[in-house]
Amino acid sequence: MKNKSRIYLFLLIFTLFLTGCKGNDDKTSSNFKPSTLIEKDANGTVEGDLNKYKIDIKIDEKEKSFTGKQKTLFKNNTGVALGEIYFRLYPNAFKRFEDSPILFSQSPYTKKTFKEGFIEMKKLSLKGEDLKYTIEGEDKTLLKIKLERPLMEGQQIEIDMEYFVKLPTSQDRFGYGKNTMNFGNWYPVLSVYDEDGWSKDPYYSVGDPFYTDASNYDVNITVDKDIIVASSGNILEEKIIGKEKIYKIEGRFIRDFAFAASSDFKIREEMVDDTLVKLYYLDNNKTMIEESLKYSVDSIKAFNKSFGKYPYGVYSVVLTEFPSGMEYPSIVFINERYFTKDAKTILEQTIVHETAHQWWYGLVGNDQVKEAWLDEGLTSYSEVIYMDKIYGEKEGDLYFENGFEMNYDIIEEYLRGEDTQVNKSIEEFEDWDDYGILVYTKAAVFLRDIEDRYGKDTLLKILSTYFKEYKYKNATTEGFLEICEKVTKESFKGLEEEWLK
């Protein structure tokens, strides 16, 4: 996600130096049917081992709520017998205004006007038998299901759920504004079981506190017939029945599923390297439509060449009521207020940043709570790689110098005597300011140091090797540094101490 403090500082500097960097307004009608996956290399991941979600929801647009029925197929690949299974219930983080993880505290609402969001579990069962469960955690976002008998390694179970969800008055990842509804982190999603056991972190108000495994999704969304849905995955069918519209959507090898909905969306489309780029926008601004599509298409081109092929047949860029930019697999939310000529620079930067997240977070996952730098640092430096590929090396260098290096010089003075460790858990950061300074800017300068020491081609080889090794999997800092050492044939202990610790 694009960080607030970096945006403000960046705008002051970047606009001064870089402003010289070099359809149809309605929904595109086309008989073209994109593929869900266009690149078949599963990187050793066996599809039968993936978690599988089958979700049917019906949205009440007037009440800003929905009901859901969900089947989750979980296969135990942990290596140990499991007596319990954990899901995350992220909507419960919005139960109270005071505790809601509203990004950057920019909500137009107050305690009096805020309407809460939550999820109520109506039924949990296994083969028709009710399951015992508790809702835990300081923010009640942890669902613990107790199994009658241990689930052994290699065994699988299918858990049935029914639930009711209320959206909060929050123009955020999850919530609604005047024209749009955002559905990020909206359904019960399996926690990750790793070497530390089940992930149980709360929904922190700083950073992107999410950690998930690649999974398969089949989702049906029922809305009023005039509502347009933009989603993760591939929309296979839109069927109108009476006053309702049903979207049939599939996602394969994606680690999360998000969507946005609005009766005001317009759509433009363009193909790039076998991927259909879909731009959902609210304003009838023809100039910015072409600009936004260009940034999206150029990003896919640049990162396909630099890191490895984008494997999904659809990529959706959604201009919605969101304070900055937010990444989800094959879909990103972009602040619709950037959709103007005056904000052209920040529009490009945000689209590029969130598109880079399709590689660093979406395809190569990591624990964004414990090691946030790993996706944000690589994503931030990917902006420089984009500038280099699209506008040339001089513009790439200028972008880095004014957008990162100059900021880092200021940061070093600002943080003198403070904790400057980059690789640490979200809970150890004070606020968005030091989080952004370290996780985005200092981490990006670390990538530049690698490039300066070993060359541009070597850095790109590190990133492409890292992508190839961890695509559809969860990586760690240790794994990234091992790739660095493998490619350069040198120890990275010194660089790790200098930049990450």
What is the domain count for the chain?
2
Q: Which residues of 312-339 are buried (b: 16+ CB within 10 A; e: fewer)?
A: bbbbbbbbbbbbbbbbbbbbbbbbbbbb
Distance of alpha carbon 43 from alpha carbon 470, whole angstroms: 8
**300 domain-assigned:** no
Say if residue 325's pLDDT is above 60: yes
Residue 227's CB is within 10 A of a number of other CB atoms, namely 19
pLDDT score, position 346:
96
pLDDT by residue (tens digit) across 88-137?
A: 999 999 998 888 888 765 566 777 888 999 999 999 999 999 999 999 99
**One of 53, 204, 440, 470 is an active-site residue; which one?**
440
Q: Using 50, 70 and 90 to split pLDDT, how confident is the model at 191?
A: very high
Paired tokens of 451:
């490039």
Identify whether the C-beta of residue 350 lies closer than 8 Å to the C-beta of residue 325.
yes
Domain end residue (candidates: 213, 239, 265): 213
* Whether residue 205 sits in one domain with residue 59: yes
| Residue 13 belongs to domain with CATH number | 1.10.390.10
Question: Averaged over 228-250, what is the pLDDT?
Answer: 98
pLDDT by residue (tens digit) across 359-414?
A: 999 999 999 999 999 999 999 999 999 999 999 999 999 999 998 998 888 777 77
pLDDT by residue (tens digit) across 146-183?
A: 999 999 999 999 999 999 999 999 888 999 999 999 99
Say if residue 455's pLDDT is above 50: yes
pLDDT score, position 413:
72
Higher pLDDT, 16 or 421: 421
Distance of alpha carbon 342 from alpha carbon 340, whole angstroms: 5
Say if residue 20's pLDDT is above 90: no
Question: Averaged over 493-499, what is the pLDDT?
Answer: 97
pLDDT score, position 124:
97
Distance of alpha carbon 40 from alpha carbon 61, whole angstroms: 38
pLDDT score, position 106:
56
Tracing tokens 């606009």 back to the chain, one arrives at 15
Distance of alpha carbon 35 from alpha carbon 76, whole angstroms: 29
Q: How far apart are the first and last CA of the chain?
A: 23
Distance of alpha carbon 491 from alpha carbon 469, whole angstroms: 19
* Whether residue 94 sits in one domain with residue 9: no
**29 domain-assigned:** no
Identify whether the C-beta of residue 202 lies closer than 8 Å to the C-beta of residue 209.
yes
Higher pLDDT, 18 or 275: 275
93 residue type, one letter: A
Domain end residue (candidates: 149, 183, 213): 213
Q: Is the dihedral of CA 177, 246, 224, 100 positive or negative?
A: negative
Query: What are the respective helix, strand and coil percentages of the chain, to the nearest 5?
Result: 35, 30, 35
**168 domain-assigned:** yes
Q: Which of 299, 461, 439, 310 is nearest to 374 (CA)?
A: 439
* Whether residue 92 sits in one domain with residue 12: no
Mean residue pLDDT of the chain comes to 92
- For 105, residues 6+ apart whose C-beta sits below 8 A from its C-beta are none
Identify whether the C-beta of residue 58 lies closer than 8 Å to the C-beta of residue 137.
no
Q: Which of 22, 344, 378, 72 is nearest to 213 (CA)?
A: 72
pTM: 0.93
pLDDT score, position 26:
46
* Whether residue 94 sits in one domain with residue 156: yes
- Domain of 381? 4-19+362-499
262 residue type, one letter: S
Say if residue 30's pLDDT is above 80: no
Identify whether the C-beta of residue 332 lies closer than 8 Å to the C-beta of residue 316.
yes
Q: Is residue 354 annotated as part of the catalytic site, yes or no?
A: yes
Identify whether the C-beta of residue 402 lies closer than 8 Å to the C-beta of residue 384.
no
pLDDT score, position 466:
98
Say if residue 36's pLDDT is above 90: yes
Q: Which residues of 57-70 are buried (b: 16+ CB within 10 A; e: fewer)?
A: bebebeebebbbbb
pLDDT score, position 24:
40
pLDDT score, position 433:
85
* Whether residue 71 sits in one domain with residue 204: yes
Concatenated DSSP letters for 450-466? HHHHH-HHHHHHHHHHH
* Whether residue 57 sits in one domain with residue 165: yes
pLDDT by residue (tens digit) across 333-353?
A: 999 999 999 999 999 999 999
**418 domain-assigned:** yes
Q: Using 50, 70 and 90 to split pLDDT, how confident is the model at 1?
A: confident
Say if residue 80's pLDDT is above 50: yes
**151 domain-assigned:** yes
* Whether residue 138 sits in one domain with residue 13: no
| Residue 104 belongs to domain with CATH number | 2.60.40
**Is 357 annotated for ligand binding?**
yes
* Whether residue 55 sits in one domain with residue 12: no
* Whether residue 461 sits in one domain with residue 390: yes
Paired tokens of 292:
């936004």
pLDDT score, position 113:
82
pLDDT by residue (tens digit) across 255-312?
A: 999 999 999 999 999 999 999 999 999 987 788 999 999 999 999 999 999 999 999 9
**322 domain-assigned:** no
Torsion angle of C-alpha atoms 143, 76, 83, 208, degrees rounded to 10: -30
Paired tokens of 68:
């859901």
**One of 269, 354, 383, 496 is an active-site residue; which one?**
354
Domain end residue (candidates: 157, 185, 213): 213
Say if residue 16's pLDDT is above 60: no
**251 domain-assigned:** no
- For 58, residues 6+ apart whose C-beta sits below 8 A from its C-beta are 66, 67, 68, 222
Helix (H), strand (E) at residue 474 = strand 474-475
Paired tokens of 318:
């959604």
* Whether residue 9 sits in one domain with residue 102: no
Beta strands in 255-304, from DSSP E residues, in sequence order:
259-262, 266-272, 275-281
Question: Averaged over 437-464, what is the pLDDT?
Answer: 97
**Is 498 annotated for ligand binding?**
no
**Is 485 annotated for ligand binding?**
no
pLDDT score, position 7:
44
* Whether residue 200 sits in one domain with residue 77: yes
Say if residue 496's pLDDT is above 60: yes
pLDDT score, position 416:
62
Say if residue 4's pLDDT is above 70: no
What's the 3-state SS for 139-207?
CCCEEEEEEEEEECCCCEEEEEEEEEEECCCCCCCEEECCCCEEECCCCCEECCEECCEECCCCCCCCC
**264 domain-assigned:** no
pLDDT by residue (tens digit) across 42-58?
A: 999 999 999 999 999 99
pLDDT score, position 17:
40
> Cα 268 from chain centroid?
22
State the number of CA atoms in the 13 A half-sphere of 457 facing the CB: 0
* Whether residue 97 sits in one domain with residue 188: yes
Concatenated DSSP letters for 371-399? -THHHHHHHHHHHHHHHHHHH-HHHHHHH
